[in-house]
Structure 1
Amino acid sequence: MRTPRSLARSAVAAVCAAGMLAAGVVDTQTAHAASSNPLDELGRPTSETIARVNAFADQPYVPVQVGNALRTAVAFFAGSGEMGGPPLPKDAPAFTQFAWPTVSGNCIGKGMHSTASAIAVPGPAKSPAPGAKAGQTTFVFTALGTPAAAQKQGLMKVYWVNLNTLRTGVTPLGNNGINPTGPSTLSATADTGSGRVLAVVDGSVRTTDRTCAFAPTAASINVR
């Protein structure tokens, strides 16, 4: 069975091939070759694919937010840059990363965009704060490149459903002291119950100097 990450990589590959054709940066024969083999043996975009996606994203007719999302997605699936967020400690609990990164335009400054990633940590786990008991899930959202998070939050929420029990919930993310000097990191623990949980995080992060809106991202989590 293919994992959500491999499915997402395939989607990125398809978008890459379509983008190369739409941009007119390659001829039909070259595009066909790229579309049939845009990934390496580990399922990551090749250097040629990355270059062509970035070239497409830089075209003047591509909206800024779309080009930024394309560059972010291809970098994420290539495993480059800071897409994974801050390094985790060696004794970090098992976690599920949300399927794709999300971007907030001009969040750091004019023309400077913040890329964010989210993870879900099923309990029992003492960290990240505020921690999770068995049958609970802690959600963490990190906006890279931003200053510290403001104390007052409430605009970023996780919408989740437990597919085994059909329990649903909406959990606001708050400032629980993770990365107190930045980047802005929000978290919260939800009583999801055990089972397969689908979650979508959506909303805005309040930093110490502005409010940044992020597009939604999703995850499928196995909660014990």
Structure 2
Amino acid sequence: MDGPNFFTPAQVAVHNTATDLWVSFLGKVCDLTPLMRQYQGDALLLPIMEAAGQDISSWFDPDTKDVSFVDPLTSCLRYYTPRGRFVHVPPAGPRSDWAGVIGQPWWRDRRYEVGLLTAKARWIRVINTLTSQEQRLQVCSEETLAEILQRYLPYNSHACSYTWKHNGVSLDMSRTLSENNVQDDDHELDRLRLDRDLFTPAILLHFNDDLSEA
């Protein structure tokens, strides 16, 4: 697929072990598993391990994209590490065991980036009108229908052999749900105190091809 990969918070959350560790921050999703291997046994990994699978945007300044801030007591620029100092953060004072030249700190190293965190995850119901099978999917609002189809393939390997429709209108697979007028009413439902699950948009799949050719 062209363009960046988007992930839901739930997708990031499942990568929560020392041997498979993802975090998100400032809209990015990073796989820090190689970092965990490189510094295996280092106590400075503990804050990162505690945050495995979580969003750690609060650790960073959204303007500088760094972990520094102005100390309200001293007005000095220093590092903010709410869970303790972590890998690539220098000590508060001079230390003989600190290597000052580390290159790019991991939070600026693009090698760890695997994609972007969705600005809004949303639920849809995908209903196969041929078999009456229904599957609830959590998707990213930025994804096109073609990308959503990829999420659905594990439940129906012949999904490409169907026309996808909403309210009787065929969907443009190169466009997002919103661009196809599949509106996200979560905010309005919350305002009205209505159960979102009762109003999840339905996408209907209509069989239009010979499965033997798929």
**TM-score, normalised relative to structure 1:** 0.29
Structure whose CA Rg is larger: 2
Structure with greater contact order relative to length (CA < 8 Å, sep ≥ 6): 2
Tell me which protein shows more strand as a share of its residues.
1
